[in-house]
């Protein structure tokens, strides 16, 4: 079976502090509000084990756009600076779980999904610094109901 999914994930906030070289320069704080748009095409293999429970595994591939809104707070003497950045990435996923038919039309699902949404980048601040992450991962528990027609 196959699945085409669009998803929007929002408000993944993170804070980072860069410790200054001495007390006079102070620390630099970075705050990121990360959101991700993704479009994934997944293929699933359902195992027939002669039971009502039907285990499955799946692989997915698609596109992800990571949108970052970074705020840099250098120290008391300098104003905060906020910049936004978008990075388009190849995304991929691995999935496993089980489905259970409640009737001929309704099927329940419980599963796990790992997704790599790719790189995150702040862009470049006025001081020439930037914040990057090579990978933005998500570990999801999937609980769902499907209607078959």
Q: What is the pLDDT of residue 28?
A: 80
Return the number of other C-beta atoms located less than 10 Å from residue 29's C-beta: 15
| Distance from the Cα of residue 136 to its chain's centroid | 6
The DSSP code for 20 is: P
Q: How far apart are CA 19 and CA 23, in angstroms?
A: 9
Out of 8-12, 43-47, 110-114, 139-143, least confident range: 8-12
Q: How far apart are CA 34 and CA 21, in angstroms?
A: 28
Q: How far apart are CA 27 and CA 45, in angstroms?
A: 51
Q: How far apart are CA 144 and CA 38, in angstroms?
A: 19
Q: What are the tens digits of pLDDT across the range 7-25? A: 999 878 888 777 766 555 6
Instruction: Report the percent of the chain where pLDDT is more than 70.
Output: 93
Mean pLDDT (the chain, rounded): 89
For residues 121 and 87, the answer to whether their CB atoms sit within 8 Å is yes
Confidence at 81, pLDDT banded by 50, 70, 90? confident
Nearest C-alpha neighbor of 49 from the set 96, 2, 98:
98
- Specify the pTM: 0.81
């Amino acid at each position: 079976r196959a699945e085409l999914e669009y998803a929007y994930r929002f408000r993944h906030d993170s804070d980072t502090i860069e410790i200054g070289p001495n007390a006079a320069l102070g620390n630099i704080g970075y705050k990121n509000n990360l959101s991700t748009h993704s479009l994934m095409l997944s293929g699933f293999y359902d195992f027939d084990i002669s039971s009502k429970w039907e285990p499955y595994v799946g692989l997915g591939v698609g596109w992800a756009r990571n949108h970052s809104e970074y705020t840099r707070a250098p120290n008391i003497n300098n104003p905060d600076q906020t910049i936004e950045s978008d990075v388009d990435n190849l995304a991929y996923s691995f999935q496993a779980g089980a489905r259970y038919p409640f009737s001929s039309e309704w099927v329940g699902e419980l599963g796990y999904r790992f997704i790599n949404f790719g790189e995150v980048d702040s862009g470049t601040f006025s001081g020439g610094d930037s914040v990057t992450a090579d990978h933005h991962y998500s570990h999801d528990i999937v609980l769902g109901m499907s209607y078959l027609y």
